[in-house]
Structure 1
């Protein structure tokens, strides 16, 4: 099997004008009574893409997935799959399969019988079923557990049985609704990479719904961040994290510090912002907000440095404060630094060495600072 690195670096059909979407949501709206679950949403997903729908509970992501599967019908708009409108096509006739968070395994059936169930329903010959089941169980590394029943398996193994059953019919699209939610943290992290490898092996299009940002960032080629039935931003994980298109996305994805202020200058690819707390910020930006207008500045904790001495950039992009809280996480240390205006800034530092000669402690006076390219200007 090829390394995912070379494949994922070059895979970007969404940036090719000649590429045609494999799945298209065109002005799709779904209402339940007076509640609008999906609001006039348009979205394109491409062949062999690992696509993530990310958002808080109630944002409409699962409803979108259920409409693609055929379990719900759009109130208006159209869903197109591989050039065909899905209007009026029942779930069992769609070239998609769905893996649920609960796994929905039959407790009285063996592992191989669970995987074979859909194939039997489709009338596949017995010999072909046996061969396909064997292929699927080897693929998910469960061929030695074929005769066991679900209660004799671990949570991770049950998850892989459900996955094998979902792909046994070789759908064009695999839909995954919070597929790793029932797993513990370490197993969830391992399974994320297993899913990526499996998707590359099968050459299928995966659409996953999750509220776990780390899960989406790890697995997906692109992420659609959703809120209130709308897509707020669609981009690759690095773009979502480093270049959020709005205050909502910046605040929703990962940890962030947001400073609000007034634009004092815009020139030569830089923006100057004077914050309400007295911090002067100079940042490289393609944005050109109006001088005198309001703007925000978002900077991630790992981009902020903490030290005992005044940095060379001061007074720009630097402020004094007091260490308020410290969180040691093993791989990194998180500092909460209270500035003079009372706001608390979060900074994180990688623990690259085992011992630090001059560690920063509680209630210590420190400086926090960041580079001119460390964050982004937010207009809203």
Structure 2
């Protein structure tokens, strides 16, 4: 049985027609003067889902989060949480907490005082507050740091304090706005897995805003790729990576090579394109019935490209010259200029510490890929 990538968990209520969305944006538009930040957007998010809003700066993702939190109101449309409209509901009356990139910890308070602050505001009794704070400290593994002030903690520890404070009141929904942006790469990667474990342990719904595609791919059950106030595609990480439905999504998620061509033949699940990009012909596995002469784009990831010194037997092959090589440790990235002039990217996994006669700069080689390696797009 073939599948688009590995599945992080079996949780997938969006494919069940009987499932009721926990969060629903219904024809939501948000304008700031003449600028439209969110444009007639509809979106469903399900309970206990880890959902990412991914896109470049200014695409509207943070505006969506702020409307959900109650810091902004839609110009048009409505937002529903657990079946209830949020119109007129003040931020402090929503079962929602929001965690910001800055963490916003109180510098004069200890770790346990920071975590307890929201509980005191909610007028919980002292024994309940003490028990809840201890639970949170244990959850984020900061029991030994309870008496420290924020300036005595590392960036990752401050991030965990902010997270503990955000979930201490047991909100139904946690909103995270670029929560890992201040961490270094290694710590950010470690914290991503901590967030995933925490979300599943607490059984909460997480909605995260990020411009970091690796972050979204790692943590999310589903991703909404946004641009200019609209959602371009919603899918699991594997779906948006392996089966993008537009050139925008293909180009935004990871590295990609895009070839143009006109349909020469479309039969028996195989589409043949007349390509001007250095290939005499491009063949792609595709069940969709494209019209003869129709202009299409083939999106294929660098790791799906093969590099050989001898002409391969693959249907899709073109020769070219190696222009750039980047050794990244786990992989080596190549930029090859095809005979037709197009630059393409290819990646190879470094399975061995040492390689005999590696491909070098200025070398003439063959670039090829399998017919089922890419995705055909008509937009």
* TM-score under structure 2 length normalisation: 0.97
Partner in structure 1 of residue 99 of structure 2: 99
> How many Å separate the matches in 2 of 1:248 and 1:139?
40
Instruction: Report if aligned partners of 2:278, 2:342 keep a CA contact under 8 Å in 1.
Output: no
Structure 2: gaps (5+ residues): 1-5
> How many Å separate the matches in 2 of 1:336 and 1:298?
16
Instruction: Report if aligned partners of 1:287, 1:377 keep a CA contact under 8 Å in 2.
Output: no
SS in 1 for 2:20: coil
Partner in structure 2 of residue 290 of structure 1: 291
> How many Å separate the matches in 2 of 1:126 and 1:173?
25
> How many Å separate the matches in 2 of 1:18 and 1:153?
46
The one-character-per-residue Cα deviations of 1:66-125 (angstroms, maximum 9, x if unpaired) are 000000000010100001110000000000000000000011111111101111001000
Instruction: Report if aligned partners of 1:30, 1:39 keep a CA contact under 8 Å in 2.
Output: yes
> How many Å separate the matches in 2 of 1:292 and 1:8?
40
SS in 2 for 1:10: coil
Partner in structure 2 of residue 43 of structure 1: 43
- Quick check: 1:68 aligned with 2:68? yes
> How many Å separate the matches in 1 of 2:180 and 2:125?
33
Give matches, 1:253-292, under 5 Å.
253-279=253-279, 280-292=281-293
Give matches, 1:1-380, under 5 Å.
8-279=8-279, 280-313=281-314, 316-380=315-379
Structure 1: gaps (5+ residues): 1-5
> How many Å separate the matches in 1 of 2:177 and 2:224?
15
What is the deviation of 1:263? 1.0
* TM-score under structure 1 length normalisation: 0.97
The one-character-per-residue Cα deviations of 1:158-183 (angstroms, maximum 9, x if unpaired) are 00000000000000000000000000
Tell me the C-alpha RMSD between the 2 structures.
1.0
The one-character-per-residue Cα deviations of 1:196-232 (angstroms, maximum 9, x if unpaired) are 0000100000000000000000000000000000001
What is the deviation of 1:261? 1.4
What is the deviation of 1:354? 1.2
> How many Å separate the matches in 1 of 2:252 and 2:270?
26
> How many Å separate the matches in 2 of 1:150 and 1:9?
35
Instruction: Report if aligned partners of 1:71, 1:91 keep a CA contact under 8 Å in 2.
Output: yes
